[in-house]
């Protein structure tokens, strides 16, 4: 298809720094989600720094860092506000009202990068109830899986399907986690990393039922280990950002099964306390399109 490159080839990463209000309760948000966890802001910022450092220096991506906005305590979860495939970015409509203004800065960056921006809310009346967050969207290079979760609904998935018409968009229930990307992520062009909870297995079975393709499945024992970031670097090297041994002691050996990968253990414990993970912190873009 026109915009299929080798899966995982990216040139840019867009991140948004951790604000001082990190971990603060979003007003009128579902309080229980991050109500009683205590997070270490400085540690979160250090971890964020490590992540961006790895993306820039190890993987070799151009990094675009959007400055933090204290008004938007969850704006660092930048993955949620856009789904990017090829040269099209779908600006999503997050579930929480107060998060919806997070999209503005991201939209600007997308325009600067010359990415075609599609608004989820804009399409005539289409916003009617549609919500979608990027952490419920798994793009495998061949198709999209949209996890129907508390934050993403079917209408949102439909908008996504309308935006990326080239691809099959399948909806799956999210079992065993709050978000689809909490229980699985891509570990390579044909590899799905998934944790071995029963819920995740159920979701995986559904994905296998719905797909025309065959994916390798890498099962990891730690629940939080299933969220990784796979990037095919400039020199066609495979990078995998994954949770370090301290956070996921049992899963590191599973990652070592990936042949010829450069493994980049990246800590994410603080964001993780808020239900996020590695992939939540960055948007990956490929601006070097080859059509042929």
Partner 1 sequence: MKLVVCHVNLLDGTDFSCEVEKRAKGQFLFFKVCEHLNLLEKDYFGLSYTDSHEQKCWLDPTKEIKRQIRSNNWQFAFNVKFYPPDPSLLTEDITRYLLCLQLREDVATGRLPCSFVTHALLGSYTLQAEFGDYEPDQPRPLDYINQRTFAPNQNKEMEEKILELHKSHRGMTPALADTQFLENAKKLSMYGVDLHQAKDSEGVDIMLGVCANGLLVYKDRLRINRFAWPKILKISYKRNNFYIKIRPGETEQFESTVGFKLQNHRSAKRLWKVCVENHSFFRLNSPEPPTKARFLTLGSKFRYSGRTQAQTRVASSLIDRPSPNFERTSSKRISRSLDGAPVISITEAGRDTTENGRDPHLELHSDSKVKEVDLSPGDADATPTKQSPGASELAPSQSPMRVHGDNIYVRHSNLMLEDHDKTQDEVLKHQASISQLKRSFMEAPPPSPPQPNQWEKRLTSSPATTIRIQQQQVASVPQSEADAADNRISDTKEPAKTTEVEIEETVVVQEVSKAPKPGLVTVTISSPEMNEQEAKAEEEALVAEGAQAVKQESISSDSESEEEAEYHPNVSVSISHTQIPEEKEEEEEEDQEEKEEDTSAPDAPSLPAEVIKPEEAICQEVEDSGRGDAEEKTSAKEEKESEKETETSTDDPMMTPKEAPNGLDLHEETVSEMVAPVAAEEEEQPKVNGEASLVEAEVRPQVICCSEPPVVKTEMVTISDTFAAQKTEIATKEVPIVHTETKTITYEAAQLDGNGDGEPGVLMTAQTITSESLCTTTTTHITKTLKGGLSETRIEKRIVITGDCDIDHDQALAQAIKEAKEQHPDMSVTRVVVHKETELAEEED
Residues engaged in binding partner 1 (CB under 8 A): 1-4, 86-88, 116, 143, 146, 154, 157-158, 161-171, 209-214, 291-292
Who contacts 233 (Cβ-Cβ below 8 Å, separation ≥6)? Answer: 59, 60, 239, 262
Least separation in angstroms between residue 263's CB and partner 1 is: 27
In the complex, minimum distance from the CB of residue 280 to partner 1, in angstroms, rounded to a whole number = 24
Q: Is the CB of residue 183 less than 8 Å from the CB of residue 226?
A: yes
Q: To the nearest whole angstrom, how small is the minimum distance from the Cβ of residue 166 to partner 1?
A: 5
Q: Smaller CB distance to partner 1: residue 101 or 170?
A: 170
What minimum distance in Å lies between the beta carbon of 214 and partner 1?
5
Retrieve residue 14's tokens: 């867009």
Say if CB 244 and CB 266 are below 8 A apart: yes
CA distances from 152 to 86, 155, 191, 200 (A): 22, 8, 24, 17
Residue 138: CB minimum distance to partner 1, A: 14
What are the DSSP E strand ranges found in 27-110?
62-66, 82-85, 88-91
171 is written with which tokens?
């909806």
Nearer to partner 1, 15 or 206 (CB): 206
Query: Closer CB to partner 1, residue 163 or residue 203?
Result: 163
In terms of Cβ atoms closer than 10 Å to its own Cβ (0-12, 13-18, 19+), residue 80 is: buried
Between 143 and 238, whose beta carbon lies closer to partner 1?
143
Residue 208 CB, shortest distance to partner 1, in Å, is: 8
Judged by beta carbon, residue 5 or residue 178, the one nearer partner 1 is 5
Which residue in the block uniquely carries the two structure tokens 């070592």? 256
CA distance 159 to 146: 11
User: Whose Cβ is closer to partner 1: residue 48's or residue 164's?
Assistant: 164
């Amino acid at each position: 298809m026109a915009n299929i490159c080798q899966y995982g080839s990216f040139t840019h990463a867009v991140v948004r720094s951790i604000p001082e209000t990190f971990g603060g309760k979003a007003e009128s948000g579902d309080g229980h989600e991050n109500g009683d966890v205590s997070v270490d802001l400085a540690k979160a910022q250090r971890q964020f720094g490590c992540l961006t450092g790895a993306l820039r220096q190890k993987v070799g991506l151009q990094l675009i860092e959007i400055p933090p906005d204290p008004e938007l305590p969850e704006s660092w979860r930048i993955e949620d506000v856009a789904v990017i495939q090829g040269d099209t970015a779908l600006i999503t409509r997050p579930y929480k009202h107060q998060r919806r203004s997070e999209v503005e800065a991201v939209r600007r960056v997308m325009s600067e990068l010359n990415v075609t921006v599609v608004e989820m809310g804009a399409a005539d009346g289409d916003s009617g109830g549609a919500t979608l967050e990027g952490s419920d969207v798994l793009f495998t290079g061949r198709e999209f899986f949209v996890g129907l979760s508390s934050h993403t609904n079917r209408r949102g998935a439909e908008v996504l399907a309308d935006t990326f018409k080239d691809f099959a968009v399948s909806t799956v229930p999210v079992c065993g986690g709050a978000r689809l990307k909490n229980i699985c992520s891509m570990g390579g062009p044909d590899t799905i990393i998934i944790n071995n909870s029963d819920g995740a297995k159920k979701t995986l079975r559904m994905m296998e039922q719905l797909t025309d393709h065959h994916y390798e499945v890498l099962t990891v024992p730690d629940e939080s280990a299933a969220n990784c970031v796979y990037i095919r670097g400039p020199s066609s090297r495979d990078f995998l950002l994954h949770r370090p041994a301290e956070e996921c002691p049992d899963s590191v050996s599973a990652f070592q099964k990936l042949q010829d990968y450069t493994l980049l253990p990246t800590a994410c414990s603080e964001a993780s306390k808020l239900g996020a993970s590695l992939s939540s912190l960055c948007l990956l873009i490929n601006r070097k399109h080859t059509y042929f």
